[in-house]
Copies of this chain bind each other. A is one copy, B any other.
Amino acid sequence: MRENFEALAKGPANYVPLSPISFLTRTAGVFPDRTALIYGEKRYGWGDVLARCHGVASGLKDRGIAKGDVVSVLLPNIPQMFELHYAVPMAGAVLNTINVRLEPETVAYILDHSDCKILIADTAFAPLVRAAFEILGREIPVIDVADISQDRLGEDFEDLATSGARLDHVLPDDEWHPIALNYTSGTSGRPKGVVYHHRGAYLMSMGTLPAWEVPMHPVYLSVVPMFHCNGWNHPWAMAVQAATCVFTRDPLPALIYKAIADHGVTHFGGAPIVLQMLTDADDKPNVPFDPPINVFTAGAPPPAAILEKTKAMGLKVMQVYGLTETYGHVTQCVWREEWEGLSAAEQADLQARQGVAFPMMEGTIVVDRETGQPVPADGETQGEIVMRGNAVMSGYYKSPEATAEAFKGGWFWSGDAAVVHPHGYIQIKDRLKDVIISGGENISSVEVEGVLYRHPAVAAAAVVAKADEKWGEVPCACVELRAGAELSEAEIDAFCREHLAGFKRPKAYVFCELPKTSTGKIQKFKLRDMVSGA
């Protein structure tokens, strides 16, 4: 009877707070000597990594870091950045990774808003740190990671990492305890601080592994910046399988190809722009990778043209989709056997869908924004993507109104407009704010961009709304050409007439290098400003 079951209590034997810290502890015990991290000539075994993380965590506590304190980090993808994904939470603290390409004003804003207690920074970014402190009007204790520069600001990270100190207790008391604080890119207004908890990071990692079919001992290439959604939580997931993680500091095609050749990379993630750089690189291999390399791509819908090329190269690309608020990817375009017989172009079109929820998510559906009801799975009716599950943020730090707004009705509202195909495959039509409304018709900028990308002279394209007296808004195409390519406005316009309904055809063209974020996302807000003459 029910009361007999309710008498059975949680205790230390049968209830352990979920935390990715447990992944490292276990793998370091089983494979202490196996190579965990490779960076240039450097090698760290899993036992080394654990010992270094204990040293850093212990050092942070010695320097006054207490439960719930924020430790900010300004690092590229190098082993120390990986280690801090464990060391900071082991100290009970919250990891705040900051995009190293941000301007000093925003870095200062984040350091201040996050209540940062200690900043761990690559000495190559010392000028950025000084400029941020100048704006902040105060200094924060700095721990230096001297990787390629000796421009010192504080203590040396290696002194902590090699101290040999051990902590007795590294798990949180409560799995809801914060593990990371990640600021959104803030395309409009100030960035918001997204809080992740240990439970979410654990479940995100464990859900990713079966979905990506990650075997034991994968060779993982660290391309996704760890300052974006903690590298899609891969630094945590990879520990479960005792991976070897390869770092190149910068995600340049030549370095990526060298890493693949030197270490036999089996898995990596990267934005579509990274895939495009790889397919465009002069020094790319002549024969396809065999076995194929497993690639997650996210950050923008990958143009079908790129998916066709990556397939031919031996890259097994799965598109995934998510937001900073969802720990990174929460939907995946799961391959279906009935797609096998289709042409490469048809397959690429299907793979350009954002797909279905990962196992760790409870629901990812598209609802009518007015009624809150799911839209029909007809591939046509647009709504907003809403999500529910254990890989959704705790909320926005110090922003109760924004948190309440994001969670209204018991769902997280993504701000992305999408349709639903059969079997629940979601396809994003646009960020809601990127939809162009022209003469009462909704135009998907993604659709128009898809056509532009098919033109061989186009390297990148972004379509934004331009104010128009007659139509309200019209699509304006911003086009970046391939090196050496030539294309006239008349030529691209003729191409668009051929492939697009009249109302969707761009009414203006701008040829320029497109502004991009550090992950290769095109910054449409800058283009909108440019087009509107702001």
- Contact surface of A with B, Cβ cutoff 8 Å: 1-2, 4-16, 18, 22-23, 26, 29-32, 34, 66-69, 94, 115, 176-178, 195, 200, 203, 206-207, 209-210, 213-217, 240-241, 334-335, 337, 356-357, 359, 362, 387-390, 392-395, 397-398, 400, 403, 406-407, 410-412, 423-424
Q: A7-B400, A67-B2, A424-B30 are in contact. Are A13 and B412 (CB under 8 A)?
A: yes
A241, B2: Cα distance in complex, Å: 33
Chain B contacts of A390 at CB under 8 A? Answer: 14-16, 18
Q: Which 6 residue pairs of A and B lie closest in terms of their CB atoms, listed nearest first?
A: A2-B68, A12-B410, A8-B394, A8-B395, A14-B392, A209-B210
Question: Which residue of B is nearest A388, CB measured?
Answer: B13
Q: A14-B392, A30-B423, A357-B26 are in contact. Are A115 and B176 (CB under 8 A)?
A: no
Q: A8-B403, A68-B5, A209-B209 are in contact. Are A14 and B393 (CB under 8 A)?
A: yes
CB distance from A160 to the nearest CB of B (A): 23
| 26 pairs, A vs B, C-beta closer than 8 Å | A1-B68, A1-B115, A2-B66, A4-B115, A4-B397, A5-B94, A5-B397, A8-B195, A13-B388, A13-B410, A13-B411, A14-B388, A14-B390, A14-B392, A14-B407, A18-B203, A18-B390, A26-B356, A30-B334, A34-B337, A209-B209, A210-B210, A210-B214, A213-B215, A216-B335, A217-B337
Chain B contacts of A215 at CB under 8 A? Answer: 213
Question: Which residue of B is nearest A171, CB measured?
Answer: B362
A13 & B210 in contact (Cβ 8 Å cutoff): no
B115 & A12 in contact (Cβ 8 Å cutoff): no
Chain B contacts of A216 at CB under 8 A? Answer: 210, 213, 334-335
Question: Which residue of B is nearest A389, CB measured?
Answer: B16
A166, B177: Cα distance in complex, Å: 37
Chain B contacts of A217 at CB under 8 A? Answer: 337
Question: Which residue of B is nearest A332, CB measured?
Answer: B30
CB distance from A178 to the nearest CB of B (A): 5
Q: A5-B397, A14-B407, A390-B15 are in contact. Are A29 and B210 (CB under 8 A)?
A: no
CB distance from A403 to the nearest CB of B (A): 7
Chain B contacts of A389 at CB under 8 A? Answer: 14, 16
* Contact residue among B1, B177, B359, B388 (Cβ-Cβ distance under 8 Å from A240): B359
> A7-B400, A217-B337 known; 7 other A-B pairs, CB under 8 Å?
A4-B398, A5-B178, A8-B195, A13-B410, A13-B411, A14-B395, A206-B210
A68, B214: Cα distance in complex, Å: 37
A407, B94: Cα distance in complex, Å: 33
* Contact residue among B13, B206, B356 (Cβ-Cβ distance under 8 Å from A387): B13
Chain B contacts of A423 at CB under 8 A? Answer: 29-32
Q: A5-B178, A67-B2, A240-B210 are in contact. Are A410 and B16 (CB under 8 A)?
A: no
Question: Which residue of B is nearest A325, CB measured?
Answer: B14
B424 & A29 in contact (Cβ 8 Å cutoff): yes
A203, B202: Cα distance in complex, Å: 10
Chain B contacts of A67 at CB under 8 A? Answer: 2
A3, B247: Cα distance in complex, Å: 36
Chain B contacts of A394 at CB under 8 A? Answer: 5, 8-9, 14
Chain B contacts of A16 at CB under 8 A? Answer: 362, 388-390
Chain B contacts of A388 at CB under 8 A? Answer: 12-14, 16
A352, B31: Cα distance in complex, Å: 19
Chain B contacts of A176 at CB under 8 A? Answer: 10
Chain B contacts of A395 at CB under 8 A? Answer: 7-9, 14
Chain B contacts of A210 at CB under 8 A? Answer: 206, 209-210, 214, 216, 240-241
Chain B contacts of A362 at CB under 8 A? Answer: 16, 22
CB distance from A31 to the nearest CB of B (A): 7
A67, B398: Cα distance in complex, Å: 39
A335, B215: Cα distance in complex, Å: 12
A463, B307: Cα distance in complex, Å: 62
A13 & B424 in contact (Cβ 8 Å cutoff): no
A222, B271: Cα distance in complex, Å: 41
CB distance from A442 to the nearest CB of B (A): 27
Question: Which residue of B is nearest A176, CB measured?
Answer: B10
CB distance from A6 to the nearest CB of B (A): 8
CB distance from A4 to the nearest CB of B (A): 5
A23, B360: Cα distance in complex, Å: 9
A356 & B30 in contact (Cβ 8 Å cutoff): yes
CB distance from A205 to the nearest CB of B (A): 10
CB distance from A362 to the nearest CB of B (A): 4
Question: Which residue of B is nearest A32, CB measured?
Answer: B423
* Contact residue among B7, B356, B411 (Cβ-Cβ distance under 8 Å from A29): B356
